[in-house]
Each structure stands twice: as structure tokens, then as C-alpha cells.
């Protein structure tokens, strides 16, 4: 238990505070906690799948997405080299996966009243009522 923990507890216990390892820890109402868990997980999962679809399109010459994109480019009368298309798709894919990871990690900052901290195994600190 560090000093900063003690001072933050004597103040407003409801306010976000820095945990033991310098991570933020925000207590939210139960219903909001459910919203956060469900939607951030959903977004993360969809992002990872979508990211891999893009990575597939970047590396796999038979990808449907790649075919759609290159057809769209040729319909517009633009020519795009295979290398450039692959690079672009790979960057987008990695970015989408990184976005999903970011959303998921952000979601772990929040917890409901009375829950153990999600980022470490310790239970919630007692604040003596």
C-alpha cells in the first residue's frame, strides 16, 4: 500500500485513481460495466477478425476483398501496383487489429463496485466503510 493510495482514499473514494502499478482504475455502475465489457469485447473481436481479413487480402492473391478493391480501382480507371495494394492492405489490417487491442485494453480500466481489480489479482481495498 503506497502513500498515494492512502491519500486518494481519504479524499473521494469514487474518483478514478492510480493503482499500484500506475494504472488507472475507475469504478462504474454495474449496468455500465456490462455495457463496457460486452461492447469493448465485441469491438475487439470484430476488429481482430476484420484485421485478418485485410491481412489475408494483402498476402493472398485469391482474396475476395482484394479482388473487389482492385476491380473498383480499374473501374475508376486507376491502375495500382500489386506491391502498393499489398502494403496498403497490410497497414490497414494491422491498424484495425491495433485499434481492437486498444479498445479492449481501455475497457479493462473500468470495474464495478465491489469487484476485484481486473488488472491484478488483489481484491478491492477496504476503505473502512
Residues that bind other proteins (CB under 8 A): 14-16, 24, 26, 29, 31-32, 34-36, 38-40, 42, 103, 106-107, 109
In the sheet with 110-112, reading across from the earlier edge strand, the strands are: 17-18, 24-28, 110-112
CB closer to other proteins out of 89 and 110: 110
Closest CB 74 distance from other proteins, rounded Å: 33
Q: Are the C-beta atoms of residues 47 and 107 closer than 8 Å to each other?
A: no
CB closer to other proteins out of 86 and 119: 119
Closest CB 123 distance from other proteins, rounded Å: 22
Closest CB 16 distance from other proteins, rounded Å: 6
CB closer to other proteins out of 38 and 91: 38
Closest CB 34 distance from other proteins, rounded Å: 5
Amino acid at each position: 500500500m503506497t502513500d498515494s493510495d492512502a491519500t486518494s482514499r481519504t479524499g473521494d473514494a469514487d474518483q478514478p485513481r492510480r493503482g499500484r502499478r500506475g494504472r488507472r482504475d475507475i469504478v462504474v455502475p454495474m449496468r455500465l460495466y456490462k455495457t463496457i465489457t460486452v461492447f469493448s469485447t465485441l469491438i475487439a473481436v470484430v476488429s481482430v477478425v476484420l484485421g485478418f481479413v485485410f491481412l489475408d487480402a494483402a498476402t493472398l492473391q485469391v482474396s475476395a476483398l482484394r479482388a473487389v478493391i482492385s476491380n473498383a480501382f480499374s473501374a475508376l480507371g486507376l491502375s495500382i501496383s500489386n506491391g502498393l495494394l499489398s502494403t496498403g492492405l497490410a497497414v490497414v489490417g494491422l491498424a484495425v487489429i491495433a485499434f481492437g487491442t486498444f479498445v479492449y485494453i481501455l475497457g479493462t480500466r473500468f470495474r464495478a463496485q465491489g469487484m476485484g481489480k481486473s488488472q491484478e489479482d488483489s481484491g478491492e481495498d477496504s476503505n473502512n466503510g
